[in-house]
């Protein structure tokens, strides 16, 4: 593993606690409402949706969702591109992602499978260097997934979304045939900066489409209702791939808005945790 392949923490101390002991304590606090989550039988989802705000705002939604599911040791994480840097479908090269708790290795074998002939995926660090939407989820994954490898992928354009989804599904099928399970994780917040009432209305429309496993309806709804769901592109890719993998069921595990923490209901952000199997 070369040093240049390690993606260093960018948001420790802003989006989440900077110290290892403090961050572990935070995780323990978020999951304390689910003391038996490691022991009970949990759903093994094909895809999960998690928010990526500062932990104080969306941490409870994330923990509530992860407490209900058992993600595979290998997770393909689809995120939006807030910075508009780099290429569409950019995959972080072999290496690891650093946070205060430690390093999370990337999965070399899964990423290489995604890079076959005709693949729309490309190795590109640029979309990930200053992007927060995967980094903020890592402590929750480290807490809830005992053995963890990730494949970070930034989705920034509608170009090749169907090919990308088919490629993902094919890769996951091949991994399963070889005895290795892989989950899809979509990182996305919901609508931004409407009133709490409007936000909840808009988010329900989008979530209904997602939970109906209808990527076209999700896209149409987001565009028609002007819903600022930042991870709409990753969600479309994830939904399409999940359907190819045979998904038929879904559940909304948790939902809230930033008003719960900020006390300001005039301008909020929505956070949803859901999964598909």
Mean pLDDT rounded to a whole number for the chain: 95
In a domain, 158, yes or no: yes
Q: How far apart are CA 246 and CA 25, in angstroms?
A: 38
CA atoms within 13 A on the CB side of 91: 24
For the stretch 107-153, pLDDT in tens is 999 999 999 889 999 999 999 999 999 999 999 999 999 999 999 99
Quote the pLDDT of residue 173.
Answer: 98
In a domain, 11, yes or no: no
Quote the pLDDT of residue 117.
Answer: 84
Please, which pLDDT band fits residue 247 given cuts at 50, 70 and 90?
A: very high
Quote the pLDDT of residue 209.
Answer: 98
For the stretch 8-27, pLDDT in tens is 999 999 999 999 999 999 99
Q: Any residues with CB less than 8 A from the CB of 177 and at least 6 apart, and which?
A: none
In a domain, 36, yes or no: no
In this prediction, residues 92-97 reach a mean pLDDT of 95
Tokens of 75: 């997770």
For the stretch 171-198, pLDDT in tens is 999 999 999 999 999 999 999 999 999 9
Please, which pLDDT band fits residue 1 given cuts at 50, 70 and 90?
A: very low
Total structural domains within the chain: 1
Confidence (pTM):
0.96
In a domain, 146, yes or no: yes
Q: 157 lies in which domain range?
A: 44-276
In a domain, 4, yes or no: no
146-176 per-residue burial string, b: 16 or more CB within 10 A, e: under 16:
eebbbbbbbbbeeebbebbbbbbbbbbeebe
Quote the pLDDT of residue 166.
Answer: 98
Cβ atoms of residues 120 and 89 within 8 Å: yes
For the stretch 49-88, pLDDT in tens is 999 999 999 999 999 999 999 999 999 999 999 999 999 9
Quote the pLDDT of residue 3.
Answer: 44
- Based on the number of CB atoms within 10 Å of its own CB, is 63 exposed (0-12), middle (13-18) or buried (19 or more)? buried
Quote the pLDDT of residue 4.
Answer: 54
For the domain that residue 49 is a member of, what is the CATH number? Answer: 3.40.830.10
Please, which pLDDT band fits residue 40 given cuts at 50, 70 and 90?
A: low
Q: How far apart are CA 205 and CA 224, in angstroms?
A: 11
In a domain, 105, yes or no: yes
In a domain, 15, yes or no: no
In a domain, 134, yes or no: yes
Quote the pLDDT of residue 38.
Answer: 56
Quote the pLDDT of residue 165.
Answer: 98
Does the structure show a pLDDT above 70 at 227?
Answer: yes
């Amino acid at each position: 593993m070369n040093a240049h392949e390690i993606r260093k923490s960018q948001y420790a101390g802003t989006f989440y606690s900077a110290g290892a002991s403090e961050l572990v304590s935070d995780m323990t606090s978020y999951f304390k409402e689910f003391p038996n989550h490691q022991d009970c039988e949990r759903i093994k989802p094909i895809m999960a949706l998690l928010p990526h705000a500062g932990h104080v705002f969306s941490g409870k939604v994330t923990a509530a969702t992860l407490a209900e599911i058992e993600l595979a040791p290998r997770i393909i994480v689809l995120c939006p591109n807030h910075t508009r840097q780099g290429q569409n479908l950019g995959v972080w090269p072999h290496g690891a992602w650093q946070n205060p708790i430690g390093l999370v290795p990337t999965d070399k074998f899964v990423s290489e499978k995604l890079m076959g002939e005709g693949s729309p995926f490309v190795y590109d660090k640029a979309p990930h260097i200053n992007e927060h939407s995967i980094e903020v989820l890592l402590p929750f994954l480290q807490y809830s997934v005992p053995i963890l490898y990730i494949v970070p992928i930034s989705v920034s354009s509608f170009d090749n979304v169907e090919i990308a989804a088919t490629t993902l599904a094919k890769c996951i099928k091949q991994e399963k045939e070889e005895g290795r399970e892989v989950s899809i994780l979509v990182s996305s917040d919901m609508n931004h900066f409407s009133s709490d009432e409007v936000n909840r209305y808009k988010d329900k429309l989008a979530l209904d489409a997602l939970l109906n496993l209808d990527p076209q309806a999700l896209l149409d709804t987001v565009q028609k209702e002007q819903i600022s769901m930042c991870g709409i592109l990753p969600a479309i890719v994830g939904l399409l791939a999940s359907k190819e993998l045979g998904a038929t069921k879904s559940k909304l595990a948790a939902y809230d808005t930033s008003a719960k923490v900020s006390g300001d209901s005039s301008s909020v952000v929505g956070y949803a945790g859901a999964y598909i199997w």
